[in-house]
Amino acid sequence: MPPRRFPPGDSREWLNRARSHLTRAKTCPPGVYLEDLCFDAQQAAEKAIKAVFIHNGLDFPYVHDLTRLLTLLERTGRKIPKYVREAGRLTRFAVETRYPGLSERVSGREHARSVRVAEGVLRWAARQVGEKTRRAR
């Protein structure tokens, strides 16, 4: 059953979208490139981070650089745990891996790590907005 929808300016909708991306990132159907699944892991982390901005009434730039987004949040006084900072390594999946020839093939190990990082960011973001953590399918 799909999650309840919220208005686009509601941090809960951004977390819903983050969970949707994470669910896709965790799948591994035949014929799907791991690079594409890592893109979904990056998108899950990005939307989760932006949910924190929205929850706190903060504007954010429409960029895919997760390190930049986390630095901007930190400048507003939020503490960013080290494991959440790991999200910066996902930034390359936002563009490079979406197009043939711009990056190396992604390994199974790298995919698994990307999913773990995205899961951690999503759990952290859900706590920041006061939402109970739900597992992505």
Query: Could you state, in chain order, the average pLDDT of each consecutive group of 10 residues for the chain (137 residues)?
Result: 85 97 94 94 98 96 97 96 97 85 87 98 96 53
Q: Write down all domains in the chain, each with its CATH number in brackets.
A: 11-128 (1.20.120.330)
- Produce one character per residue of 84-107: b if its CB has 16 or more CB atoms within 10 Å, e if not: bbbbbbbbbbbeebeeeeeeeebe
Q: Please tell me the predicted confidence (pLDDT) of residue 3.
A: 79
What per-residue confidence (pLDDT) applies to 136? 45
CA dihedral 125, 130, 135, 136 (to 10 degrees): -50
**Which pTM was predicted?**
0.91
User: What was the pLDDT predicted at 132?
Assistant: 58
* pLDDT score at 59: 95
